[in-house]
A = this chain, B = another copy of it.
Amino acid sequence: MSAAAERAGRRPTIKAVATAAGVSTAAVSQAFNHKGRLSEATRRRILDAAADLGWSPSAPAAALRHARTRTLALVVRRPTDVLGADPHFSELITGIEGELAPRGYGLLLHLVTGMREENALYERLAAEGRVDGAVLTDARDDDARPALLARLGLPAVLLGSPDGRAVVPRVGLGDQGAGVAEAVTHLLDLGHRRIAYIAGPPELQHTRLRRGAFEKALRAAGLRPFAVLHTDFSERMAVGATEALLAAPGRPTALVYANDSMAVCGIGTVQRAGHHVPRDVSVVGYDNLPLGSWLHPRLTTVDQRVQQVGAAAARLLLGLCGEEVEDLPLTGRPKLVVRESTGPAPN
């Protein structure tokens, strides 16, 4: 950074750069945006002056002019007391941010506790022109957000299985049923017959999808679920559901959880109850979070490449915002990762 930059107590403006380079502010703008017609020499001189002053175009000013902020929103809705900050979102954020950063976009992160609050937030973000678009997670069966954002004129991408009558584009999470079905088949192959499912909140779309796939896979084998319990993803309910299942007459030999966080709680609860995983009870998760492979036993889970999904969503959304971005195709479907938390059924 040069002496000039040091002297400028305040942030330099385009005017300072123009003066330093001996041109008009318009020329500076053109030099940066490859518009207009400037001689290569002038362009260089301007760029040098700008670099010397440490100047970059003011984001707010540019946003005002273009009505585009180069910022996208991610609102994480999380009922109070839900499993910490679900690591699932960390993965998702990593995937999203990886696509935004190289394109100069920023990610505005908000945490809310309820649907009503989430909708109000979108209203405000849109009204204030704070973001160019939003990534919507946890699709519900009757989700008001797509219509809301459409009305607000805010591009959006919804994470969930593709859907014909979608108001906003979706990034599929793949055929989630396939992953669950694969898990069930795996358990059946191991001899399990009493298999229970610990699901998420019933209003979430993926809950229904995965639960349906679970039941269907069992039916195909001429079996019925030992039980299907819904939770709100909280530790309390994950533990409670697990304890209830372990105490049930004819205790299940395998537990399938709707996500890895609950599965981890589940393993702990099973062990605490004095059972061995997987000798007495097998456990399967969903998401393939890094966490799962730290444990002993390592968690058998369904890999849905959350990071890649986040990246795909980000690219799609960037495209909707007018950026020249090629879609990131989501190759393959969720796939079972067999590790150590599943084993032959007892007896």
The interface residues of chain B lying within 8 Å CB-to-CB of A111 are 93-94, 97-98, 101
Q: How far is the CB of A257 from chain B (nearest CB, A)?
A: 12
Query: Contacts of A54 on B, CB cut-off 8 Å?
Result: 123, 127
A108 touches B106 (CB 8 A): yes
Per the 8 Å Cβ criterion, residues 102-159 of A in contact with B are 106-112, 123-124, 126-130, 151, 153
> CA of A61 to CA of B127 in the docked complex: distance in angstroms?
12
Known A128-B56, A264-B295; contact A110-B90, beta-carbon cutoff 8 A: no
| A129 with B294: CB separation less than 8 A | no
A165 touches B (CB below 8 Å): no
For A126, list chain B residues within 8 Å (CB): 11
Contact between A268 and B289, CB atoms less than 8 A apart: no
List A residues at the B interface (Cβ < 8 Å): 1, 6, 9-11, 54-61, 63-64, 67, 69, 71, 83-85, 87, 89-91, 93-94, 97-98, 101, 106-112, 123-124, 126-130, 151, 153, 235, 261, 264-265, 267-269, 271-272, 289-291, 293-296, 298
**Chain B residue nearest in CB terms to A267:** B296
Contacts of A261 in B (CB 8 A): 294
Interchain CB contact under 8 A, B109 and A58:
no
Cβ-closest chain B residue relative to A9: B153
Residues of chain B within 8 A of A90, CB atoms compared: 84-85, 87, 89-90
Besides the contacts A97-B109, A295-B295, what 8 more A-B pairs have beta carbons closer than 8 Å? A10-B153, A11-B129, A54-B127, A55-B127, A97-B111, A98-B111, A109-B109, A235-B293
Asked if A101 and B110 make an inter-chain contact with CB atoms under 8 angstroms apart, the answer reads yes
CA distance A124 to B51 in the complex (A): 12
Question: Smallest CB–CB gap between A73 and chain B, Å?
Answer: 9
A11 touches B294 (CB 8 A): no
Nearest chain-B residue to A129 (Cβ)? B58
Instruction: Please indicate the chain B residues that have their CB under 8 angstroms from the CB of A127 in the complex.
Output: 11, 54-56
| Chain B residue with the shortest CB-CB distance to A55 | B127
Instruction: Tell whether, in the assembled complex, residue B91 and residue A84 are in contact, meaning their CB atoms are under 8 Å apart.
Output: yes
With A and B bound together, what is the CA distance between A96 and B67 in angstroms?
A: 28
Residue of B nearest to A64 (CB): B60
Complex: how many Å from CA A10 to CA B295? 52
A265 to chain B, nearest CB (A): 5
Q: In the bound complex, what is the Cα–Cα distance between A269 and B123 (angstroms)?
A: 48
Q: Which residues of B contact A293 (CB under 8 A)?
A: 235
A110 and B97 contacting across the interface, CB-CB below 8 Å: yes
